[in-house]
Amino acid sequence: MVAPRHSVELVLLPVLDIGAAVRFYAGLGFAVADQRDDDATLEVPGLQLVLERVSELEADDGRPRAELRVPLPILERAWRGDERDDRSLPGPTLAPEGVFEYRVRDPSGNRVRLLAVIPDSGSP
């Protein structure tokens, strides 16, 4: 009998400081699976995030380098943290996919699009 295979999305992300990046993504609910000086692997069910240390990032083209699904409370916490630093930032918005969206920057400056499913109101 063949063991079932589970597919996992893999996201590779360049970062300037592994430790700072690991702390940031752990705050978004990722568990550290492995960490070394030049790379780290973090996981949530269905997604593996591989951080690779680089000496400099490629130029920012304005698009997110990663899109991550997170629970709504984590998205809201990320926004409240940013709001403390800059109260003019817009809050989470409703994306065309029918999810809440909020864009953050990780400690290396990577743009990250956080997506959270809209809670079910429980009504039919």
Q: pLDDT, tens digit, for every residue of 57-87? A: 998 888 999 999 999 999 999 988 887 676 7
Average pLDDT value for the chain: 88
Inside any domain, residue 17: yes
Q: What SS3 class is residue 111?
A: strand
pLDDT, position 60: 84
| Residue 18 · residue 37 · CB < 8 Å | yes
Q: How far apart are CA 74 and CA 67, in angstroms?
A: 14
Range of the domain at 109: 9-55+64-117
User: In the structure, what pLDDT confidence band is assigned to residue 122 with cuts at 50, 70 and 90?
Assistant: low
How many structural domains does the chain have? 1
Inside any domain, residue 82: yes
Q: Which two tokens stand for residue 29?
A: 């609910």
Structure confidence by residue, pLDDT tens digits, 94-115: 988 889 999 999 999 999 999 9
Q: Which residue has the tokens 């499913």?
A: 117
Inside any domain, residue 18: yes
Single-letter residue type at 10:
L
CATH of the domain at 104: 3.10.180.10
